[in-house]
């Protein structure tokens, strides 16, 4: 069976964050740039793209640099650690199937000036990523209790938005409302595509040194799917909803790859302890380092 490489829709930064969450988060270590280049090459990502991603993430405050001799190592910042911890919760604790919904909805209404087209676009994009769907043009809804205070503060729109908790009336057709407010066919297609792509690996194994990269791609693609899922209550979704099968496939393949991936990480990764006195804003160019 051939090596699985990254899908075109999977950005190198998403892959990098997944790699760091898997190998660096919670360990107080930095990883050598050459190790990252090697692992990413096995996932089909070129050296220049990997180096550029590292440089951009440093400039955005998502990575810190630490030089050891002629080698440059990269570690997490507080910002990236928070992002990765959220992703870890989403994969391993929240899950893809919402069986425990208590009937609560979060309603968010907004009214912005007509000239604020960019702000309206940014708000709608953020709401979509936070699990909201449009009930009406200026009224959005999400299952459960969703805290949007940080989102609104970031956009500077708190004064233009009202947030409520609500329950549906007894005669409300929740299933119909869900179909009108969210693109269920698109979400189901993503789950189906994930299952078809990864199910063969439930019985196959990659070459030993490719296992780390393969598991990295698996996790990054899975997170990309479930982050677009508002976790709608399964009781009100179509009976053949594919999220559960996709999650079973993810967990089965991950479990199968993990022993090999751990062995590969010991062979392929050069890690050093974080030095508290290292200059996080070093001007040294990571692209100039020896791989």
Domain containing 45 — which CATH number? 1.10.10.10
**The 3-state secondary structure of the chain, one letter per residue:** CCCCCCCCCCCHHHHHHHHHHHHCCCCCEEEEHHHHHHHHHHCCCCHHHHHHHHHHHHHCCCEEEEEECCEEEEEECHHHHHHHHHHHHHHHHHCCCECCCCCEEEEEEECCCCCCHHHHHHHHHHHHHCCCEEEECCEEEEECCCCCHHHHHHHCCHHHEEEEEEECCCCCCHHHHHHHHCCHHHHHHHHHHHHHHHHHHHCCCCCHHHHHHHHHHHHHHHHHHHCCCCCCEHHHCCCCCCHHHHHHHHHHHHHHHHHHHHHHHHHHCCEEECCCCCCCCCCCCHHHCCC
CA nearest neighbour of 280 among 85, 62, 81, 27: 62
Mean pLDDT score, 261-265: 96
Domain holding 35, by residue range, is 12-80+269-288
Q: Same structural domain for residues 128 and 196?
A: no
pLDDT one-digit tens code per residue, 217-252: 999 999 999 988 999 999 999 999 999 999 999 999
Same domain, 71 and 18: yes
Low-confidence winner among 14-18, 97-101, 227-231, 285-289 (lowest mean pLDDT): 285-289
Distance CA 65, CA 280 (A): 5
Are 280 and 227 in a shared domain? no
Query: Does the pLDDT at position 289 exceed 90?
Result: no
Q: Which of 16-30, 123-137, 165-179, 272-286 has the lowest mean pLDDT?
A: 272-286
pLDDT in tens, 179-216: 999 999 999 999 999 999 999 999 998 998 999 999 99
For residue 58, the model assigns a pLDDT of: 96
* pLDDT digit string, tens, across residues 91-143: 888 888 998 899 999 999 999 999 999 999 999 999 998 899 999 989 999 99
> pLDDT value at position 127?
93
Q: Is residue 191 part of a domain?
A: yes
Domain assignment of residue 119, yes or no: yes
* Same structural domain, 155 and 206: no
Number of domains in the chain: 3
User: How many angstroms separate the CA atoms of 41 and 70, rounded?
Assistant: 22
**Does the residue 87 lie in any domain?**
no
Predicted confidence at residue 288, as pLDDT, reads 41
Q: With contact defined as beta carbons under 8 Å apart, do 150 and 98 qualify?
A: no
Q: What is the pLDDT of residue 269?
A: 97
CATH number at residue 151: 3.30.70
pLDDT at res. 260:
95
Q: What is the pLDDT of residue 7?
A: 62
Residues 187, 160, single domain; the answer is no
In this structure, the answer to whether residues 114 and 158 fall within a common structural domain is yes
Flag whether 141 is in a domain.
yes
Q: Are residues 260 and 196 in the same domain?
A: yes
* pLDDT surpassing 90 at residue 6: no
Please tell me the predicted confidence (pLDDT) of residue 283: 46
218 and 250 co-located in one domain: yes
Q: Give domain status of residue 279, yes or no.
A: yes
Share of the chain above pLDDT 90, in %: 77
Enter the pTM of the model. Answer: 0.86
Whether residues 258 and 192 share a domain: the answer is: yes
- Within a domain: 89: no
**pLDDT of 133:** 95
- 153 falls within a domain: yes
Q: 283 or 273, which is more confident?
A: 273
């Amino acid at each position: 069976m051939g090596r699985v490489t990254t899908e075109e829709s999977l950005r190198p930064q998403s892959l990098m964050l997944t790699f760091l969450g898997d190998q660096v988060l919670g360990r107080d270590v930095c990883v050598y740039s050459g190790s990252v280049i090697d692992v990413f090459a096995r996932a089909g990502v070129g050296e220049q793209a990997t180096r550029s991603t590292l440089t951009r993430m440093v400039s955005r405050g998502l990575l810190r640099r630490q030089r050891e001799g002629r080698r440059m190592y990269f570690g997490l910042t507080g910002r990236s650690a928070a992002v990765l911890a959220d992703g870890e919760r989403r994969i391993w604790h929240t899950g893809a199937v919402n069986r425990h919904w208590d009937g609560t909805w979060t309603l968010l209404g907004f009214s912005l000036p007509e000239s604020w087209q960019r702000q309206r676009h940014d708000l709608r994009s953020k709401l979509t990523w936070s699990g909201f769907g449009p009930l009406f043009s200026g009224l959005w809804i999400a299952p459960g209790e969703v805290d949007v205070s940080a989102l609104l503060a970031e956009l500077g729109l708190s004064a233009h938005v009202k947030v409520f908790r609500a329950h549906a009336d007894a005669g409300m057709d929740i299933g119909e409302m869900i179909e009108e407010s969210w693109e269920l066919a698109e979400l189901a297609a993503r789950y189906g595509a994930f299952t078809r792509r990864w199910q063969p690996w439930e019985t196959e194994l990659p070459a030993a040194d490719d296992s780390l990269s393969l598991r990295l791609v698996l996790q990054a693609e899975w997170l990309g799917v479930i982050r677009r899922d508002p976790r709608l209550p399964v009781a009100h979704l179509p009976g053949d909803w594919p999220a559960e099968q996709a999650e079973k496939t993810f967990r089965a393949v991950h479990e199968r790859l993990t022993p090999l991936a751990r062995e590969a990480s010991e062979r392929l990764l050069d890690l050093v302890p974080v030095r508290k006195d290292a200059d996080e804003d070093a001007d040294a160019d990571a692209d100039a380092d020896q791989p």
